[in-house]
Amino acid sequence: MREVSLKSGRSFVPQGWLIPSLGLLLSLIFATLPYDNVFWYKSATLAYGLSAISYLAFFFLRERLIGNVATGILFLGLLLNLTGMIRRGWQTYEMGAFHPPWSNLFEALTFWSFIAGVIYLLLERRYGVKLLGALITPVIFGLSLFAITKANAEITPLMPALRSYWLYIHVITAFVGYAGFTVAFGGAVLYLLKAKYNLSFLPSLEVLDELSYKSVVVVFPIWTASIILGAAWANEAWGGYWSWDPKEVWSLIVWLFFGAYLHARQMLGWRGTKTAWMLVFGFITVLICFFAINLFFPGLHSYATD
Amino acid sequence: MFKGYAFLILSSAFFVGVVIAGLFHLKQVGIYYFALLFASGFLFAGALLKFLWDSLRALYRDYKKFNSLPVFLFEFFASLKLAIFLMIAIGILSMLGSTYIEQNRPFEFYVNKYGPEKAGWFWKLWLNDVFHSWYYILFVALLALNLIFCSYKRLPSVWKHTFSKERFQKLDEHLEKHLKPIEVKINPDKEKVIRFLQSKGFKVYAEEEGNRTYLYGEKGKYSRLGVYVVHIALLVIMAGGLIDGLFGKRGTVIVPEGAREDIMTSLSQDKVYKLPFQIKVNAFHIVSYEEEAKRKGKEFKGDPKIKDAIASFESEIEIVENGKVVAKGTVAVNSPFEYGAYRIFQATYGLTGSAGYVKLSVFDRKTLPEDPQRALLGTVELRTGQVAEFKDMLLSIDRSVLNLENPKDTQHLKPAMVIKVLKDGRSYDVPVIYSPELTVFAFFQLKELSDFPYIFFLEDFRPQFFSGLQVSYSPGTPLIWGGSILLVLGLILAFYTIHRKVWARIEGNSLKISFWSHKLREEFRRSFIKDLEELGYVEKNFGER
């Protein structure tokens, strides 16, 4: 066969950028108002709670209007969360000790909520899987609520070892990873529910399976990059790229686990229930990697608990 | 499949839970605990034996199938099940080493914490250093072997279907049986179909045969090489890790201000190395936020509460080799100093417990009571380990304490010290205490000082710090970074691009088309069929390979 190639004019029109950029603008405007960052975080938590209720109501009533309201409130919550982050960043700057708003436990949890929410909304737009929201938004609400009630929201200067430009990029990649694995977990749970009870209102099994798979596929290279960036930072700050610190090891465990998942799916052709259970177990390792290591086991990452 | 594993997973979780509770949580273990331990151990052992038995039987079946040991071994090492098993096994072993048992501590630590019996077991099972244990290394080595065999086994067929000429298959009646194409009723316009495929990013190949046109389109074929790049990258990283494991050194060097040191203690404190050079710390600074702003030429305008908070700390160091200074620089947090293949990091700091810098005002003893203004002769600055000159004296700090009243409380400084003075060939020990009254009191108590013409008062004082430096020598680092970059590139290639193929046949106003995607088939199928509708009427008996 011979290659044929025909010239054709292709046009590129960015779609759907208007509402997000308006939201960003609104967040920036809100952030100039003289309210403390915690106020915005609390409002965001409230909005997440309301949107979780709406998504659950949509799950049971399947009313189109409720679904739209749920999406709207989630969007509002994300906007408020972003406002809180911008405000907090500004407040740390005013204090004379600027750090990005993802440095301690409080900031990390709220940042995780934010990223998970954004990824979920993108998926909702692309796949129309609104019912996944009934699973994801309660998780987002829970994370946010935990941050507000249990974590220390006070702004304190960072400890010297954290004051590095690596903080920006290493933490962002890590949280995109956490958020993606959360979404994959949501998809897997819906899959298992659908497979067990044959719930007709859920998207088809294939769509759910692939949704989970896709979020792992997208996030896996980012998670890898995060581990590598962490190693690069450790090589600047701690004197070695790998110290078998519990956080390092657990991020490796997560990596190995999802690596096994990807192999099982792509090469062994495992699908459906088996891989969905793998994702559920994988999410447990993700939770341990985030919470247990910071809270219970001593190591170099434990300063993130304050 | 999980039906077979559920029992194993549950029983092992149960057993591990019981063991952890017994080892780390329960203060006393009684008969009930042992009964539970026995029961859970029994369940776990049963499940494990069943798993091993099943695995061995499956292996034996494979062996019978191939009927040749080399082939069997090759297939075994190239099998994906082994890969998944190893990945999960390494994951579980890593859990062992990163949760309950602190790693790399001296043996006494475990004895104190867990008692001699348990500590002995930890030692024997390498639980104090899981990541350097023979079984961990064995599993990693097996994974490396598995990676090589897997790639070797699969690459030729991937190559054939992705890069060789054989991939240009015509969608004729024979292939149709395999690919089950969709039929689309179109205007007999070949160009439109080609344009459509090109707009979807396909590279299109065509061949005409009578009234038929065969099309073959593909995109993202290099995605298939991504996985090999990833595997090679992982091997490179493992090689780097191995080199560092064999030849690398890492440890702590503690250097008090003004001193030099070449002894490095390993992190587990069980080995001592002698560096081929000495590190001399000339000065140690704690940099506050205020100080940091000042260095940038700005004034600190932030919250006054944090102006003294620690922003960074740093040591001014010199590298001394054979008594000569060969390099000089500053080591700060997040900013290491490199000397040859060695890297020096600022890890910690602390107080040595004695004076580092002292500024004394020297008064004439006789005239002091009458006219303190006239009695002031000047000031002299002393540093630990150095001798200063003032008038006819040579002075140095002999010994000192940071807090005279409570030696343990070094938060609050109430220093006292003895200054060694050489004057006219005679040696004096002169006391200096933080408050002038106490200094005077102590000074006049001492008979030996009755003919000493001066008296010293403390003007300024800074305790002596030690700088905790980490030194690492890891010759494998370039391999690690090279491998890491390759790894990320490979992952991007493998996961962010997708290999897709289309086969089509145009005959009259019928377009038969089938398509294949290496990943995310469902998504591709939906969107592709939807897009096909812009070409014409799509028959609804969807088929896909």
pLDDT at residue A298 in the model: 54
Q: How many CB atoms lie within 10 A of CB B250?
A: 20
**pLDDT surpassing 70 at residue B406:** yes
* Nearest Cβ partner for A253 among B95, B198, B522: B95
Q: Which residues contact B120 (CB under 8 A, 6 or more apart)?
A: none
Angle CA A233–A230–B489, to nearest 5? 110
Q: Do B519 and A298 touch (CB under 8 A)?
A: no
For residue B223, count other CB atoms closer than 10 A to its CB.
20
Contacts of B297 (CB under 8 A, 6+ apart): none
Mutant choice from A2, A6, A166, A213 vs B, greatest count of B C-beta within 10 A: A6
Within 8 A of B203 by CB-CB distance, chain A residues are 3, 5
- Model-level pTM? 0.82
Which residues is B102 bridged to in the sheet? none
Residue B409 backbone dihedrals phi, psi, to 5 degrees: -90, 95
- For the stretch A103-152, pLDDT in tens is 788 888 898 899 889 988 988 887 777 888 888 899 899 999 999 998 88
Which of B 270-289 lie inside 8 A of A, CB atoms?
289
For B31-74, write each residue's pLDDT tens digit.
888 899 899 999 999 988 988 898 899 888 988 888 888 888 88
Of A44, A289, A54, A63, residue with least CA distance to A174:
A289
Highest mean pLDDT: which range of A60-64, B425-429, B453-457, B489-493: B489-493
B324 exposure class (CB count in 10 Å sphere: 0-12, 13-18, 19+): exposed
Contact between chains at B520 and A238 (C-beta distance less than 8 A): no
Least confident range from A41-55, B215-229, B393-407: namely: B393-407
* A19 sits in which H/E element: helix A18-31
- Assign residue B323 a region: left if phi > 0, alpha if psi is -120 to 50, beta otherwise? left
| A156 vs B contacts (CB less than 8 Å) | 306
| Coil, helix or strand at residue B360 | strand
- In order, the DSSP letters of B254-284 are EEETT-EEEEEEETTSS-EEEEEEEEEEEEE
> Could you tell me which chain B residue has the CA closest to the CA of A264?
B84
Give the C-alpha separation, A54 to B278, whole Å. Answer: 67
Judged by CB atoms closer than 8 Å, whether chains meet at B95 and A214 is answered as: no
The count of other CB atoms within 10 Å of the CB of residue B248 is: 18
Chain A residues in contact with B20 (beta carbon < 8 A)? none
- Residue B522 and residue A210: Cβ atoms within 8 Å? yes
Cβ of A238 within 8 Å of Cβ of B207? The answer is: no
Given a cut of 60, whether residue A13 has pLDDT beyond it is no
Query: How much is the ipTM here?
Result: 0.83
User: Between chains, do A228 and B81 touch, taking CB under 8 Å as contact?
Assistant: no
**Which residues does B407 contact at the CB level (< 8 Å), separation at least 6?**
B401
Confidence of residue B413 (pLDDT cuts 50, 70, 90): confident
> From the list A1, A250, A293, which residue is nearest B205 (CB)?
A1
Rounded to a whole number of angstroms, the distance from the CA of A56 to the nearest CA of chain B is 26
Structure-token pair, residue B13: 């979780």
Strand partners, B383: B357
CA dist B249 and B241 (Å) reads 12
Give the chain A residue nearest B82 (alpha carbons): A260
Q: How far is B374 from chain A (nearest CA, A)?
A: 46
Give A-chain residues touching B519 at CB under 8 angstroms: 217, 266
DSSP B539: P
At residue B101, the pLDDT reads: 79
* Measured distance between the N- and C-terminal CA atoms of chain B, rounded to whole angstroms: 25
CB B344 within 8 A of CB A192: no
Average pLDDT in chain B: 86
Contact (Cβ atoms closer than 8 angstroms) between residue A93 and residue A161: no
Contact between B366 and B453 under an 8 Å Cβ cutoff? The reply is yes
Q: Is A272 left (phi over 0), alpha (psi -120 to 50) or beta?
A: left
Structural tokens at position B430: 């002169």
Contact yes or no for B332/B351 (Cβ under 8 A) = no
Residues in chain A within 8 Å Cβ distance of B289? 96-97, 157
Interface of B with A in 298-357 (CB under 8 A): 300-303, 306-307, 309-313, 333-336, 343, 345, 347
Tokens of B497: 């691009």
CB contact B194 to A (< 8 Å): yes
Secondary structure of B121-180 in HEC code, one letter for each residue: HHHHCCCCCHHHCHHHHHHHHHHHHHHHHHHHHHHHHHHHHHHCHHHCCCCCHHHHHHHC
- Residue keyed to tokens 């003919």: B451
What count of CB pairs under 8 Å joins A to B?
186
Please say if the pLDDT value at position A303 is more than 80: no
Q: How many angstroms separate the CA of residue B173 from the nearest CA in chain A?
A: 18
Q: What is the mean pLDDT of residues A165-190?
A: 88
Phi, psi of B245 (to 5 degrees): -65, -35
Please tell me which of the candidates B206, B300, B488 has its beta carbon nearest to residue A4: B206
Q: Which positions in chain B touch A260 (Cβ < 8 Å)?
A: 83-84, 87-88, 91
Tell whether B480 lies on the interface with A, counting CB pairs under 8 A: yes
Range of A220-234, B420-434, B501-515 with top mean pLDDT: A220-234
Note the pLDDT of residue A306: 40
B289–A97 C-beta distance less than 8 A: yes
For residue A292, what are its two tokens?
């247990």
Cα torsion A285, A291, A293, A297: sign = negative
- Taking the C-alpha atoms of residue A144 and residue A134, their distance in angstroms, rounded to an integer, is 16
Q: Do A249 and B97 touch (CB under 8 A)?
A: yes
Q: Cα–Cα distance between A13 and B196 in angstroms, integer?
A: 18
Give the pLDDT band (50/70/90) at residue B1.
Answer: very low
Pick the residue with more confidence: B385 or A289?
A: A289
> How far does A164 lie from chain B, in Å, by closest CA?
7
Q: Which helix (H) or strand (E) holds B422?
A: strand B416-423
A210, A221, A242: residue with CB nearest B495: A221
Interchain pair A253, B306: CB under 8 A:
no
Sheet holding B388-390, edge to edge: B388-390, B393-401, B416-423, B426-433
Nearest-neighbour CA in chain B from A286: distance (Å): 13
At residue A299, the pLDDT reads 52
**Pick from A277, A270, A127, A269: nearest CA to A202:** A127
pLDDT reported for residue B541 = 54
> What is the pLDDT, as a whole number, of residue B117?
84
What is the Cα B293 distance to its own chain's centre? 31
Put simply, whether B80 touches A (Cβ < 8 Å) is: yes
What would the pLDDT profile of A241-264 be if each residue is shown by its tens digit? 888 888 888 999 999 999 999 998
Q: CB B302 to CB A241 under 8 A?
A: no
Question: Helix count (H) and strand count (E) of chain B?
Answer: 15, 19
User: What's the confidence (pLDDT) of residue A40?
Assistant: 93
Range 197-216 of B in CB contact (< 8 A) with A = 198-199, 203-207, 214, 216
Look at residue A15 and give its three-state secondary structure. coil
Residue with tokens 């960003």: A24
State what percent of residues in chain B have pLDDT above 70. 98
For residue B405, name the pLDDT band (cuts at 50, 70, 90): confident
pLDDT at B279 over 70: yes
**Residue located via tokens 């066969």:** A1
Per-residue pLDDT tens digits for B310-338: 888 899 999 999 888 999 999 998 888 98
